[in-house]
Amino acid sequence: MKGFVRAMYQTKGGINENGEPIAAVKTWGEYITCQYAANTLSNKGVYVGGEFQESSFTITLKDMSFKADFIQLSNSRNELVCEKQVLSLEVLESVKRVKITV
């Protein structure tokens, strides 16, 4: 299916010069067109920290410079499909695509 993906960027919090805490700020990047498919097999996923995490979606996009730890996936009508942590991100040089597993 066709849709849109965008990355979440987070600035680190800290303490200002008066000793007051500064909250971390989360912002969303721009929408990038993509193709996505729902995972229907229970054996698709990755091991993270010694635990198997089953993937929900496989996403491909043309932006070879795309990098993210957390993404928002929307369908072609710009309706939210999911907000998930990226399990794996692969650059597919031979087909000039980036494959994201969430």
pLDDT category at 46 given cuts 50, 70, 90 is low
pLDDT of 55 reads 74
Q: Which two tokens stand for residue 55?
A: 């993937």
pLDDT in tens, 4-43: 999 999 888 888 888 888 888 899 999 999 999 988 766 5
pLDDT in tens, 59-72: 999 999 999 999 99
Rounded Cα–Cα distance for residues 28 and 67 (Å): 13
**Mean pLDDT of all residues in 42-53:** 66
Q: How many CB atoms lie within 10 A of CB 11?
A: 11
What is the DSSP pairing of strand 51-54 with strand 45-48? Answer: antiparallel
Q: Which residues contact 57 (CB under 8 A, 6 or more apart)?
A: 36, 37, 38, 39, 73, 81, 82, 84, 101, 102
The domain segmentation of the chain, as residue ranges, is 2-11+22-101
